[in-house]
Structure 1
Amino acid sequence: MTNRKLLLLILYTFSLSLFSFSTVKAQGFDSTQIGKEYPYILPILGKKAYTKGYKLPKPFGIMANSIFTKQNIVLENFAMDFVSLGEEPELVDLSSIIDFGTSKVKVLTANARIDAWILPFLSVGGYYGRFKSETTIALEKPLKLNAQSNSDGAYWGFNFLVVAPLGPINLGVDYSWSWSDNNLLDKPVLVNVAGIRAIKNWPIRNKPDMFIGAWVGAQFQFLDAKTSGQVRLGDVIDIDGGARQDLEDWYQAIEDPSSLHDYLYNKIDESLDDVENTTVYYEFDKRLEKNWNLVVGGQWQINREWQIRTEAGFLPGKYQIMLSGNYRFGF
């Protein structure tokens, strides 16, 4: 698989977990409901809760979400070869003698999601979306090399959300599974994302179905993948921009060059004589620099049908922002 494919998937599904955070339950109590018939088929046990006066969100929802994510990635177990036209690559593990700078991926994605409250505290949903990504791989030594790739594709998945009242707040826990794919992938890639949030709602005076909600929490995502690909050397290096001098400086700074240093030096030195006809083949393991981040968010429930929400995730080297609209209904 090429390096861009996997990176995208990573971020895209990572974003999924943001929208997988379903409508925050407007936990409350309405004595005027006591003894009345619950009008909807879901959630299970909803009738009992309703007749006791508990307010429940409408059981079904349709969400539209837009998410932008930017985060650093770490490359490990790096192997590569510089191959002239017509030759076959023989990848050599060079991870012990090369240095990477900050490699990163940016993703813009949009999706649609449907969900249903199966139980008063459990929501289950599914989603489908499209993404566009930009991945930048930065090599610092033995020479400066920046490879950038762009890609787009689709993802789909499902998730669940559990919400439990804890005194004045609600505790929300969500988990999602998603598969990402594009025309560069051998097969769809699975990504798992989990989150936990403490939610507080403030009702609006004289508007019983309107409230402002806010939450803080954390999100975790797992991505550990092998990437391989190729790029023409002339597309990622400026031969007139000091590449050969960078190579010489790197080699001269080594106090006791090993056979591996000599191998890489000679390979690159030969390749710089014909960058237009040299292809760099590579493979490496890729993971997110940080598997978790903090999240803060807010929601405006206009009425029982419409909600608007936003959420931001952050840590140094990892940022995301989400905007969404939600329509809820019942039958």
Structure 2
Amino acid sequence: MRITCFLLTVFLFLLCRETVAQYTADKIVGQKQKYVSLADSLKHSTYPYLLPIWGQKVISKGFDLPFPMGFSAQYVWQQSDIIINNLQVGFNNGPKRNCDDLIRFDEATATTNGVNVRPDFWLFPFLNVYGILARSNNSTAVKCGLWIPDSSSSWKKIADINTKADFDATTIGFGLTPTFGIGGFFLALDMNFSWSDIEQLDKPAYIFILGPRIGKNFKFKGEQSLAIWTGGFRVHMNSGTNGSLPLSDLFPVNEWNKRIDSGYMKVANSQQQVDAWWNGLSDRDQQNPVNKAKYNTANTALEKAGQLLDGASQAASTLGNSTVQYSLDKRPKDKWNFLIGAQYQLNKHFMARVEYGFLSSRKQLIAGLQYRFGF
């Protein structure tokens, strides 16, 4: 099942494109002299940069703005459980057959380690726009079983499939972060869209991530501050995936015939058991709609298994030039997870932040550095 491993790893890689929005424009309020002095200074100052639009207007109303341009680099680790279904497989561009009843997934866990970079700018005082370029190393561990009926009323697992796939991936995207801050408290709604063009997929994979956050910024001496927040992380993606792989990528050449011969033998044994059960029924029991349905279901599954083996056998005869085509639907086990984060600002130019997501089947850690400047 290296096909499935590959696809799930692509999926997880895409999940990690989310990045943390920097601290926003902040309306200075408070009765302490330092706040009153800062607000008064902002109201009477001249804004020197082209961005954001309306920068002069908002500082005249007592808002403190970050530098308009920035560049950040972030390390990302994530581990997530994936649910897949509607798995279809075909060989050498022949017809694909649904394998949901034959291949049953017990567990699929994907892990990624990567780095993404993000240039950004404040288009408006309360809207940050950014681009994403990312590279990651990924692995996916899949545990599943191959099942066939041994009588019309029962199925048996004839093989356990435990495998792991590794690959590198690259993605690009962009994001928008509407934010608002007052008195050190802030709200942010991070949204980003990304696409990954990977050789084994028919078309780029797309994902949308939504990350609402609420937090508080604590000011220290000079320009130093610490922002802390909590929020959520939601994933939406195009669930359908299609692609093609060389047959030799799935198993070594010397294993193909052994696996195919073993499969034929197990299917034949199961067919004998199903037929023996059916022939052992009385005429009246054979007319029972329940027994008919069981018998037809078993025969359909065994016929499908035989057709897949026939396709694999034909492909194996020209293994060097053969391909396997696949399609499946996939989704995260949990759409949402909870997150907490913090950002330390050394000054208005340099910042460091970290964020951790948990309380679901998905866990993630993002840590990064940011540099901001005027424009």
TM-score (norm 1): 0.81
Q: Secondary structure at the match of 2:49?
A: coil
CA 1:170 to 1:152, structure 2 compared with 1: closer, same or farther past 3 Å?
same
CA 1:272 to 1:114, structure 2 compared with 1: closer, same or farther past 3 Å?
closer
Counterparts of 2:325 and 2:14 in 1: how far apart (Å)? 27
For structure 2, which runs of at least 5 residues remain unmatched after alignment? 29-37, 148-158, 278-293
Which residue of the partner structure matches residue 11 of structure 1?
12
CA 1:229 to 1:317, structure 2 compared with 1: closer, same or farther past 3 Å?
farther
Counterparts of 2:121 and 2:304 in 1: how far apart (Å)? 57
Deviations 1:135-177 (A, max 9, x none): 2333224221134322212111111111123666211001111
**Matched AA of 1:212:** L
Which residue of the partner structure matches residue 222 of structure 1?
236
1:153-192 correspondence runs (5 A): 153-165=169-181, 169-192=185-208
Which residue of the partner structure matches residue 313 of structure 1?
357
Deviations 1:203-260 (A, max 9, x none): 12xx1311111111111111212244455675599989xx98xx69x96999956113
Which range moved further: 21-30 or 100-109? Answer: 21-30
| Residue 95 (structure 2) pairs with residue 75 (structure 1) | no
Deviation at 1:319, TM superposition (A): 1.1
- Verify the 8 A CA contact 1:5 1:185 in the aligned structure 2: no
| Residue 111 (structure 2) pairs with residue 106 (structure 1) | yes
- Verify the 8 A CA contact 1:3 1:228 in the aligned structure 2: no
Q: Among 69, 78, 96, which residue is 2:101 paired with? A: 96
| Residue 66 (structure 2) pairs with residue 52 (structure 1) | no
Deviations 1:67-111 (A, max 9, x none): 111111111112346x7xxx8855332313542111122222212
Q: Secondary structure at the match of 2:348?
A: coil
Counterparts of 1:88 and 1:212 in 2: how far apart (Å)? 57
For structure 1, which runs of at least 5 residues remain unmatched after alignment? none
**Matched AA of 2:240:** A
| Residue 223 (structure 2) pairs with residue 209 (structure 1) | yes
Counterparts of 1:125 and 1:282 in 2: how far apart (Å)? 34
Q: Secondary structure at the match of 1:144?
A: strand
Q: Secondary structure at the match of 2:17?
A: helix
Counterparts of 1:68 and 1:96 in 2: how far apart (Å)? 34
1:6-45 correspondence runs (5 A): 6-17=7-18, 19=19, 21-25=20-24, 27-29=26-28, 30=38, 31-45=40-54
Counterparts of 2:93 and 2:75 in 1: how far apart (Å)? 43
More strand by share: 1
**Matched AA of 1:16:** R
CA 1:282 to 1:112, structure 2 compared with 1: closer, same or farther past 3 Å?
closer
CA 1:235 to 1:89, structure 2 compared with 1: closer, same or farther past 3 Å?
farther
Which residue of the partner structure matches residue 75 of structure 2?
66
More helix by share: 2
Q: Among 338, 344, 353, which residue is 1:300 paired with? A: 344
1:133-152 correspondence runs (5 A): 133-142=138-147, 143-152=159-168
Q: Secondary structure at the match of 1:108?
A: strand
- Verify the 8 A CA contact 2:21 2:188 in the aligned structure 1: no
Q: Among 118, 126, 139, which residue is 2:123 paired with? A: 118
CA 1:286 to 1:157, structure 2 compared with 1: closer, same or farther past 3 Å?
same
Q: Secondary structure at the match of 2:56?
A: helix
Which range moved further: 216-225 or 57-66? Answer: 216-225
- Verify the 8 A CA contact 1:181 1:189 in the aligned structure 2: yes
Deviation at 1:183, TM superposition (A): 2.9
**Matched AA of 2:124:** L
CA 1:58 to 1:145, structure 2 compared with 1: closer, same or farther past 3 Å?
same
Deviation at 1:32, TM superposition (A): 2.6
Counterparts of 1:295 and 1:74 in 2: how far apart (Å)? 22
Deviation at 1:181, TM superposition (A): 1.9
Which range moved further: 310-319 or 251-260? Answer: 251-260
- Verify the 8 A CA contact 1:309 1:325 in the aligned structure 2: yes
Structure showing greater radius of gyration is 2
Q: Secondary structure at the match of 2:203?
A: coil
* RMSD between superposed Cα atoms in Å: 3.5
